[in-house]
Amino acid sequence: MIFSRPKASYTPCTETRNTMDENHQPLPETRQPLVSRTLTEWKTLAILGGPILIAQLAQMANGVIDTVMAGHASAEDLAGVGIGSSLWMPLFLFFMGLLGALQPIISGYNGARTTSKIMPATWQGLYIALAGTVVMVLLLTNVQPVLSMLKMEPTTAGITQGYLDAFAWGIPAMLLMNALRGLTDGLGHTRVIMAFSVLSTLINLPLNYIFIYGKLGLPAMGGVGCGWATSLSNGTAAIALLVYLNYSKTFRAFHILADWVKPNWQGIRYILRIGVPIGFTIFVEASMFSVIALFLAPLGPVVVAGHQIALNVVSLLFMLPLSIGMALTLRVSFLIGARAPDTARLISRSSLILASAIALIFASALYVFSGPIAALYSSDAEVQAVTVRLLTFAAMFQIADVIQVTCISALRGYKDTRIPMFIMLFSFWGIGLPLGYFLTFTDALLPALGAAGFWVGLTAGLTSASLLLGWRLFRYRPAPEPAWASASA
């Protein structure tokens, strides 16, 4: 048996389960015409994905707030926070992806009505979050060798280390919320994490003001204050989330704290088998953009600024298809658990039509409004010129980018994560990055394109990923769950 639990049952009552099904993850109506079924599924994606989008934007807003407010303190504080963020973000993204395996697992249990497995799976995720906390804290509180290797100016290095030391206190809360997100999102209640992500952002703003600039009798901490503000806002949101889950009508039935489940290696291994490829895939993608930024540094600050603006715009637009993709993962896993593979296949494939339509709108907007967008970010004419050129290339890869995230999200709903990981690794590091380097710095294929070369390489890599992932999705047939993963609790 993968998970064991105490004899005291925490199976939700029938009324709770019916409300959950009707309002959040409805069972498919197979007697509807094809178009009606498709539109119904798209509506479900919108209901699931809307709150996810707001949660993602709230999390992005925290980074923007830290950057802006630290920048007003001093250039050294801004640099310290920026370098500190670049050190903790890849680690967090890896563990966020790893814990993201809980969402399709729990959504599948919900669809199969094996609700007795939900809390045992959640507890195994919490143990993984605890291990991740230990790893992140140990690494981020001992980055002095890395800072010395980077030959940073002592003041900036001190701010970076101080920021990370303060930030480390909030790591348990960050990973706790990501583990519990598997429970709330897996049950279709995506508004829960949305609400507490917004709460964290609303708390972070005044705390930043107090700690960075020294208000209410506290000393001005500069960039280090960002770390304390982030830790306290995350901690407050995590505690509030736990209180809510224990007292809300829906989640109270699961007895989150009362029915403790001991660590189970088979359950942890099952989560890791699905989650490690997700975490590694996200890490590979994020690290590629970091490497590109480093490669572009010798081309000068104007090129780097234009690249960063274009990347920021594209990242902001990407939140919509990413949110739809995360909702698609939940929906496909629910339908597979509910033994509705035909509907899962319908929503997986029809979502590509929806995603392509979104991509065409975004591509057209980037092409038409590239000038005003560049002017919004910078008043420097040279930076604007670089940004406009790069946004033109960014418009070209919108379709490939949106299709690849839709395909990989559907495959995650099927719990197929290992092969997609290799596809992304090949496409990004085997095609996109090498091709971008050659086009940027050499005349081997074309006259050196400068920063635009990397955007052409990105387009090629994303096109490869979209084609290979699309082929995988259309050819994929779910294999039976391992005996120990499908056994009753």
- The model's pLDDT over 242-272, given as tens digits with 9 standing for 90+, comes to 999 888 888 877 777 777 788 889 999 999 9
**316 or 106: whose pLDDT is higher?**
106
What's the pLDDT band for 454 if we cut at 50, 70, 90? confident
Start-to-end C-alpha separation, the chain: 6
What residues contact residue 443 under an 8 Å CB cut-off, 6+ apart? none
Mean pLDDT of 484-488: 44
Among candidate residues 114, 234, 230, the one with its CA nearest the CA of residue 180: 234
Taking residues 127-138, what's their average pLDDT?
94
Q: Which amino acid is at 379?
A: S
**Predicted local confidence at residue 482, as pLDDT:** 53
The percentage of the chain sitting over the pLDDT mark of 70, rounded to a whole number, equals 91
Higher pLDDT, 480 or 64: 64
Region for 33 from its dihedrals, namely left if φ exceeds 0, alpha if ψ lies in -120 to 50, beta otherwise? beta
Confidence of residue 385 (pLDDT cuts 50, 70, 90): confident
Check residue 117 and report its DSSP letter.
G
Mean pLDDT along residues 93-111: 91
- Comparing 57-71, 134-148, 213-227, 402-416, the range with the smallest average pLDDT is 57-71
| Average of per-residue pLDDT across 105-132 | 90
Question: Residue 195 — pLDDT band, cuts 50, 70, 90?
Answer: very high
pLDDT, tens only, 25-62 = 777 776 778 888 888 888 888 889 899 999 988 888 88
pTM of the model: 0.84
**Cα dihedral sign for 42, 46, 48, 49?**
positive
Q: What is the model's pLDDT at position 12? A: 39
Residue whose tokens read 């709903």: 413
Confidence of residue 480 (pLDDT cuts 50, 70, 90): low
Report how far residue 448's alpha carbon sits from residue 442's, in angstroms, rounded to the nearest whole number: 5
Burial group, residue 6, by CB count within 10 angstroms (0-12, 13-18, 19+):
exposed
Asked if residue 116 lies in contact with residue 11, where contact means CB atoms within 8 angstroms, the answer is yes
pLDDT band at 2 (very low <50, low <70, confident <90, very high): very low
Burial of 390-406, coded b for 16+ CB within 10 Å and e otherwise, reads: bbbbbbbbbbbbbbbbb
Please tell me the predicted confidence (pLDDT) of residue 14. 37
pLDDT of residue 311: 80
Which tens digit of pLDDT belongs to each residue from 392-414? 888 888 888 899 999 999 999 99
**Token duo for residue 263:** 């660590």
pLDDT band at 192 (very low <50, low <70, confident <90, very high): very high
Amino acid at 441: F
- Specify the DSSP element, H or E, that contains 297: none
- Which element (helix H / strand E) includes 372? helix 370-377
Signed CA dihedral, 350, 353, 355, 357: sign only:
negative
Quote the longest CA-to-CA distance of the chain: 71
Q: For residue 432, how many other CB atoms are within 10 A of its CB?
A: 28
At residue 340, the pLDDT reads 87
Give residues with Cβ within 8 angstroms of 135, minimum separation 6: 91, 95
pLDDT at 11 over 70: no
Residue 305 has pLDDT above 60, yes or no: yes
Q: How confident is the model at residue 78 (pLDDT cuts 50, 70, 90)?
A: confident
Query: pLDDT tens digit string along 141-178?
Result: 888 887 777 676 788 788 888 989 999 999 999 999 99
96, 122, 133, 267 from 181: Cα distances, Å = 10, 9, 16, 18
pLDDT value, residue 6: 38
**Residue pair 393/462 in contact by the 8 Å Cβ criterion:** no
Taking residues 78-107, what's their average pLDDT? 86
What b/e string do you get for 296-331 counting C-beta neighbours within 10 Å, with b at 16 or more?
Answer: beebeebbbbbbbbbbebbeebbbbbbbbbbbbbbb
Give the integer Cα–Cα distance in Å for 378 and 385: 10
Query: Using CB atoms within 10 A of its CB, is residue 81 exposed (0-12), middle (13-18) or buried (19+)?
Result: buried
The stretch 327-348 carries a mean pLDDT of: 90
CA geometry: angle 175, 181, 183, nearest 5 deg: 125
Mean pLDDT value of segment 220-241: 91
Closest CA to 61 of 217, 258, 198: 198
Mean pLDDT to the nearest integer, 345-360: 89
Check pLDDT > 90 for residue 80: no
Q: In terms of DSSP H, where are the helices of 2-151?
A: 14-23, 34-73, 75-99, 102-112, 118-140, 144-149
pLDDT of 489 over the 70 cut: no
Q: Is 79 exposed, middle or buried (0-12, 13-18, 19+ CB in 10 A)?
A: buried
Q: Bigger pLDDT: 478 or 483? A: 478
Q: What's the mean pLDDT when you consider all of the chain? A: 83
